[in-house]
Chain A
């Protein structure tokens, strides 16, 4: 703690900060560009000048860059000093000399940090009358627009892209006043975190192309606090809607989970919500080949009630991409004994194992923010960037943090980014990845290219070295033994080692190995951590809820033990081989499917109920930390599309249950649905506290979903009817579908639909909501942890797996893909355009045996032909297949490749 004097006032601040951070944390405004809370200072833009005095007697002082000056005790500065003000105004004027006259046609306009800072410094007249410099743009792919004229040379983009995110294809070119930020050649930005440039760049150079395609200013969007549904990370997002369609996804600051950044799957994968082919009204058909008849809500409910009354036994298949509330209502409808989680058996076993390990392996699960503080990491059988997007960035920061450790010894403050970078050079905290092919983290990691079983054996060996009482692995080759020794040494040398593993390879052995290491580390009383990656948005939640695996449900149907089926937001063909699913569906006379997308499963439905997507309803998800988080309805679909009959699945299912019981229709509200679920499962008891209920008020007001300058209210719907209906009422949440309600920053709150504060229209406004810049939300970071390590629980060591006997069969090794590897985001056009050309990876040996070489085409399953890629260190006996390409192929399935047609 330090005392600083600002404009004659004394304040207590964190002495480790710089003055800019300290002042912003105090709520004082100093304009800035190049400093970023997550990336520190470089002093490039000269915008943050203040006058600093040497001591109490100094009445001259001098101008300093506040971002480059430590907030030492007894520092005396003036922000409002006349010369400092003039200096700051001149800096903006000078940045504006070449700035184009673009605001009206600039996607940044309305949430532009440059606009905000220009207004803040009071520069409002152009005096410079000479010509402006111009620059050409590049096509940077389907995600990011580029308009280089607007650059103010703050260097934030390259600092984020290269240093923070590890990208290599964006750079600063040129010299003096001719610096260009782009790629060496036009082409798609390769980093999976490129989308963050749209928020990191303080101007309209980098903008969201998917947003530009149906552009709406920030002030015109309707927002709600939401949770990304595209993987298990549970990043907090602010989706913005207008006119009944989702227009963009912006990061929603969460101090513990995603901070300021998202991955590109989450940011650009929302397009499925807007697809025109979505089911919008209930559909019914007697025969599969018939065209479906559209039904009204009541008629559909009657129909289903009638059908289910006559059914012998109804099986309910839930979904790890649906909310806990919806899954619970399904379970209530069909009964515990007839409920399946909709997850394939092996995957479910892994999920259950992971929940178990999180409780009993003896190590806590750090939050993604805490991960960045770990100083040695072992990733066992995961490719985190591909399987958990944002998590990869956290892990990278952990490796980079070596710089800070080194800086600490030399008294270099943690915010002095450039000094630390120079100091650190290429030294990183040890990061070991056991994974068969290249990963996005390789530049800061040591990767061990191994087959799944070998990864597990390596893990068991590491555990044994750390704690000799852990079982040893027999017949370990020297290379693996040395690797294990190296990993164990690194982990043991660290203060806070971290073990990361997950269900991607659906190998229980790998998870057991990770568990053994965790337990071994906990024996050494290390401040270690264990992170386990799950696949889908609510995988963790469903495993906590429990239920039979999908295989069981299909068997029951195929054996004729049930004749009716209710499927909740789940495409069964993505999970198990088509034959198996077909066989089961063929025996079900009544096939009720609820979904918000058309899938091969909805094509088999006898009754299809249109479910609301995440943007149109609310619910709770549990992320990979075990954090229950609530997402809230962004918009009411029926307001602008009165013909739509979209409802939350939990609504549909509850109405069905009521109607089956023959009771008069009665509505269920979100809080009741959540409460019912929390009460039904002890493991989920905490979920009700994940977010405030519908009666939550701030200063007596509900919370506004729309910014106060939301425009066009009396015109946007006038083409339908000039008489405006009342805005939709929301009995489920504390948010209002209008600008009426609280939208300020001065009262701490946890649920923030959009960040705005007077004078702060850009995402930088989040600084007004946090306890200190880059800290936690003043109202507390949202969500509650449901999985806690059981105190005093002594987990036990697992026996290592044996090395697989050599077989000649080629087994499938499904590799997760950030783009194209997830069901719903793959339905979004930008993601489809960004998805890389898939290929089959083979080892040199296998390629030779099969007489294939890189570039040859082979057939896999029905109708999928892929080029072969021969990777020298790829494990023999396995064929690497991209996830989401050949539906229904399971990890480890035996494959027969046949030569395909020539390209």
Chain B
């Protein structure tokens, strides 16, 4: 039988399954009212974010409590929106540190490239996204706003313990897998 020639029959054919689907949807929705609730009433209730969530950026400290960032500029160059700017300075003992460290969060896209580039685990993204401001200028974070007291997600890494440069408290030859400095005044094998 050619259905197109009998529009009424055709409509009936379509109507029956459509009604069924509609009823099933209503049923599902109704059943959901007995399920556990996924929606949280933020801000009264806090949200769970996994530790690897990419939110507000921090600068961490090494296990000895010293600033981890060595001002190498790799995060800045990795940043696709160029919103990190810093200036290297040197402590008296030779340790490099950022004289200033600025992130313009009004530009940041929380891609995590900086964290990935960082050779010292200094810069990390955290599960915090509550950064709203009325004034965009307030989104410019300086080092005071970024630096925290702990090591963040990476508890152990200590860049200067593996680097060759001598700093206060770690002389040449005292880093991991290093021999004592060579005596150049000997020709002995």
Contacts and interface: CB of A to CB of B under 8 A. Distances in A.
A599 B136 CA distance: 44
B119 A220 contact: no
B171 to A, nearest CB: 9
Given A104-B72, A217-B73, A722-B137, A716 B85 contact: yes
Contacts of B96: 104-105
A136 B119 contact: no
* From A101, A110, A178, A220, residue with most partner B Cβ within 10 Å: A101
B85 A101 contact: no
Interface string A147-165: 1011000000000000000
Contact of B85 (A134, A176, A715, A721): A715
Given A178-B184, A711-B76, A715-B103, A149 B189 contact: no
Contact of A722 (B84, B120, B139): B139
A176 B163 CA distance: 24
Given A105-B70, A180-B184, A709 B165 contact: no
A753 to B, nearest CB: 19
A137 B167 CA distance: 12
B85 A135 contact: no
B162 A101 contact: yes
Given A104-B119, A132-B164, A174-B187, A711 B182 contact: no
B179 A711 contact: no
B116 interface: no
Contacts of B119: 103-104
A136 B179 contact: no
A137 B136 CA distance: 47
A212 interface: yes
Interface in B65-121: 70-74, 76-77, 79, 81-88, 90, 96, 102-104, 106-107, 119-120
Nearest to A709: B77
* From B85, B90, B96, B181, residue with most partner A Cβ within 10 Å: B85
Nearest to A177: B182
A517 B189 CA distance: 59
A133 B173 CA distance: 8
Given A103-B119, A714-B107, A722-B137, A133 B184 contact: no
A100 B85 contact: no
B82 A134 contact: no
A572 to B, nearest CB: 38
A109 interface: yes
A838 interface: no
A316 to B, nearest CB: 41
A438 B76 CA distance: 50
A104 B82 contact: no
Contacts of A219: 77
Interface string A360-389: 000000000000000000000000000000
B177 interface: yes
A619 B162 CA distance: 49
A712 B79 CA distance: 8
A218 to B, nearest CB: 10
A149 B173 CA distance: 10
Given A104-B119, A711-B77, A132 B165 contact: no
A711 B85 contact: yes
Contact of A134 (B70, B182, B185): B182
Interface in A679-719: 709-716, 718-719
A63 B76 CA distance: 42
Interface in A74-122: 100-105, 109-110
B182 A178 contact: yes
Contacts of A100: 163-165
Contacts of A135: 172, 181-182, 184
A216 B175 CA distance: 26
B113 to A, nearest CB: 11
A137 B94 CA distance: 12
A105 B163 contact: yes
A131 interface: yes
A27 interface: no
| Chain A at the B interface: SS class | loop
Nearest to B188: A175
Interface residues of A, number: 47
A712 B184 contact: no
A112 B82 CA distance: 23
A711 B79 contact: yes
A102 B165 contact: yes
B31 interface: no
A661 interface: no
B1 interface: no
Contact of A136 (B76, B86, B136, B172): B172
Interface string A175-219: 110101000000000000000000000000000000010111101
A471 interface: no
Contact of B104 (A134, A174, A715): A715
B179 A131 contact: yes
A217 B74 CA distance: 10
Contact of B84 (A178, A709, A715): A715
A273 B70 CA distance: 27
A137 B184 CA distance: 12
B163 A101 contact: yes
A428 B17 CA distance: 104
A101 B137 CA distance: 38
A712 B85 contact: yes
B142 A719 contact: yes
B179 A133 contact: yes
Contacts of A103: 72, 119
B149 interface: no
A104 B159 contact: yes
Contacts of B136: 722-723
A134 B180 contact: yes
A130 B73 CA distance: 30
A712 B76 contact: yes
B140 interface: yes
Given A711-B77, A714-B104, A715-B104, A212 B85 contact: no
B164 A175 contact: no
A837 B75 CA distance: 45
A130 B177 CA distance: 7
Nearest to A243: B87
Contact of A713 (B73, B82, B165, B181): B82
B178 interface: yes
Nearest to B77: A711
Contact of B77 (A131, A133, A149, A217): A217
B94 to A, nearest CB: 9
A714 B82 contact: yes
Interface string B7-39: 000000000000000000000000000000000
Nearest to A147: B165
A173 B76 contact: no
Contacts of B162: 101
B65 to A, nearest CB: 19
A203 to B, nearest CB: 12
A66 to B, nearest CB: 31
A798 B159 CA distance: 72
A209 to B, nearest CB: 11
A212 B90 contact: yes
A134 B96 CA distance: 20
B173 A134 contact: yes
A696 B83 CA distance: 32
B181 A136 contact: yes
* From B90, B137, B165, residue with most partner A Cβ within 10 Å: B165
B140 A718 contact: yes
Interface in B44-64: none
Contacts of B88: 214-216
Given A215-B71, A722-B139, 5 more contacts: A100-B163, A103-B72, A104-B119, A715-B103, A715-B104
- Minimum-distance CB pairs A-B, first 9: A100-B164, A712-B85, A104-B72, A715-B85, A180-B184, A711-B76, A716-B85, A149-B164, A713-B82
12 contacts: A134-B180, A137-B166, A149-B164, A174-B184, A176-B189, A180-B182, A711-B73, A711-B77, A715-B83, A715-B85, A715-B102, A718-B83
